[in-house]
Amino acid sequence: MTAKILPLYPDPGPEQALKGLYLRQRLFELGSADKPFVYANFVSSLDGRIALIDAGSGESYLPDGLSDGNDFRLFQELHAQADCLITHTGYLRALRLGRLGNILQVEAGGDLLEWRLDNGLSIQPAVVVASASLNFTVPDSIAAHGQTLYVATGQAADPARARALQAQGCKVIFAGADQAVEGAPLVDALGRLGYRCLYLIAGPRMLETMLRARRLARLYLTISHRLLGGERFHSMIAGAPLGTTGGLALRNMYYDRGASDGFGQWFAQFDPAYR
């Protein structure tokens, strides 16, 4: 059965197909080398949880039922439009341990790989790994798919580890005065390298630094109609108050009636107020 969604804002209307909803926005045409289009995507419960933290191991995990196939399809449509993905070492560790699936490549055999080629994009996007520690293992899938790999870190990062990564063929970008990566210098560096459409799959810290630097162009948010609870959890922003920088203007909202469990969700899109 073809998944359907109901437009709610700005113009309520009849149900329409979910497939192609985000592809039609053609995000890859919105950025330039001078001003790359930076966007992020999160899924949240009604009580603001994007992940829970296991009390025993301290590891983060996505609770069952928070995301579903419809949400993942839209994630893939956003993913397919990027010429560069920005991730972080926490994701790479979870991938190596088998706790998360591989989202570093556009899936072969589906419609989205063909869509990229039809629209003049490379077969696969470049990958940026943001890391303060530079202590991680590069997934084999990146080289296997011929993707360009960058490692972004701060000026105060361990120089020996930076040289070791360079010896492995990684291109190191120094983007930040301390060890942590900062949003503005990272976006500027990637723009100089010719990237125009940057998709953040790097979690709350990268979202926060992009917001504080006023470099985020759009936020996509799936809001699952469920309350998760849990004493230890992650939300979208964990740092100091953002003030007016955190103001967002609703761009679009759609209602998805949900899968077999009967719980629905909203698909919302926001533009930062500073845009």
In the chain, the amino acid numbered 5 is I
- Per residue in 162-200, pLDDT (tens digit) is 999 998 888 999 999 999 999 999 999 999 999 999 999
pTM of the model: 0.95
Return the C-alpha torsion angle 49, 136, 199, 273, nearest 10.
60
- Could you tell me the residue ranges of all domains in the chain? 33-50+66-228+247-272
Q: Pairing state of beta strands 84-88 and 126-130?
A: parallel
% the chain with pLDDT above 90 = 78
The single-letter code of the amino acid at 161 is R
CB-CB contact of 30 with 217 (8 Å): yes
Separation CA 173–CA 162 (nearest Å) = 10
Classify residue 130 as exposed, middle or buried by CB count within 10 Å of its CB (0-12, 13-18, 19+). Answer: buried
pLDDT in tens, 18-76: 999 999 999 999 999 999 999 999 999 999 999 988 888 888 888 888 889 999 999 99
Q: Is the pLDDT of residue 1 over 70?
A: no
- Note the CATH architecture for domain 33-50+66-228+247-272: 3-Layer(aba) Sandwich (3.40)
* Residue at 54: amino acid letter: D
